[in-house]
A = this chain, B = another copy of it.
Amino acid sequence: MPRYKLTIEYDGAGLVGWQRQENGPSVQAALEDAIAKFCGEQITVYGAGRTDAGVHALGQVAHIDLAKKAPADTVRNAINAHLRPAAIAVLAAEIAPVDFHARFDAIGRHYRYRILDRRAPPALERGRVWHVGAPCDAGAMHEAGQILIGKHDFSSFRATECQAKSPVKTLDALTVSRNGDEIEITARARSFLHHQVRNIVGTLRLIGEGKWSPDDLTAALAAKDRARGGPTAPAEGLCLVAVDYPEY
Residues on A close to B: CB < 8 A?
Answer: 9-11, 56-58, 73, 76-77, 80, 84, 87-92, 118-124, 126, 128, 239
Contact = CB atoms under 8 A, between A and B. Distances in A.
A77 B123 contact: no
Given A91-B118, A118-B91, A123 B11 contact: yes
Contacts of A76: 119-120
Given A87-B126, A126-B87, A9 B58 contact: no
B11 A119 contact: no
Nearest to A121: B89
4 cross-chain pairs, A with B, having the tightest CB-CB distances, nearest first: A89-B123, A9-B123, A89-B120, A87-B123
B90 A120 contact: yes
A34 to B, nearest CB: 13
21 contacts: A9-B120, A9-B123, A10-B123, A11-B123, A56-B124, A57-B124, A58-B124, A76-B120, A77-B119, A80-B121, A87-B123, A87-B124, A87-B126, A88-B123, A89-B120, A89-B123, A90-B120, A91-B118, A92-B120, A124-B128, A124-B239
Contacts of A80: 120-121
A118 B73 CA distance: 12
Nearest to A56: B124
Given A84-B121, A87-B126, 10 more contacts: A9-B120, A9-B123, A10-B123, A57-B124, A77-B119, A80-B121, A89-B121, A91-B120, A92-B120, A124-B239
